[in-house]
Amino acid sequence: MSDIIIISGSPTELSRSEQVLKYLGSLLESNALSVSHFSVKDVSSQDLVAGNYNSPAIKQIAAAIEEAKGVIIGSPVYKGAYSGVLKAFIDILPQDILKHKPVLPLMTGGSPSHLLALEYSLKPLLATLKAHNLKGLYLLDEEIDKHNAIPIIGKDILERSRKQLDYFTQLVRHPALALSETY
């Protein structure tokens, strides 16, 4: 059982958003939280396309989410929204799986004009699973070096990312805060 589950919604092999997620995971680990990483790539394309709720991979991921104290979910922007494969993945997760869980949503995109994809696509999707959404993070491709150990480049965005992670950690450690504060 891990404290935190991190889910990557990118189908790409060496993915920018996934590298950022891995980095955030390493920061959480250095803060004494245990972390498990999953990806849409862990579920067979056959199960995703067929909408197979009984997929062994999805059952294992769902069990890990249920045990976790918080979840981070990342996706690239594809055609102005989250990736299609992330939607297929979420479609076969149990209903209300994110109930009462702090969730940090993250998106990466090539263009600043799709910054609001976080607000109008990913966050509403997570809210249907009853997530307690944090403000979230949107990173531009130019702010990511996926080959670097610290893939977030730029002082401001690095600071914003760490701040969001701090809020997330506080909520994970003190769930009662969720009732009184807005992040």
Cβ nearer to ligand FMN, comparing 12 with 34: 12
The residues near 138 (Cβ < 8 Å, ≥ 6 apart) are 106, 107, 108, 109, 115, 117, 118
Q: How many residues lie near ligand FMN (CB under 6 A)?
A: 17
Say if residue 37 is exposed, middle or buried (CB neighbours under 10 Å; 0-12, 13-18, 19+).
Answer: middle
The dihedral over CA atoms of 171, 9, 34, 172, expressed in degrees to the nearest 10, equals: 10
CA distance 132 to 30: 24
**Binds ligand FMN by CB under 6 A, chosen from 26, 45, 111, 148:** 111
**Residue 114 is a binding residue for ligand FMN (CB under 6 A):** yes
Say if residue 57 is exposed, middle or buried (CB neighbours under 10 Å; 0-12, 13-18, 19+).
Answer: middle
CA distance 163 to 166: 5
CB of 169 to ligand FMN, least distance (A): 23
**Residue 145 is a binding residue for ligand FMN (CB under 6 A):** no
**Residue 2 is a binding residue for ligand FMN (CB under 6 A):** no
Cβ nearer to ligand FMN, comparing 78 with 183: 78
CB of 21 to ligand FMN, least distance (A): 9
Site string for ligand FMN, 89-108 (x = CB under 6 A): -------------------x
Enumerate binding residues for ligand FMN (CB under 6 A).
10, 12, 15-18, 76-80, 108-111, 114, 141
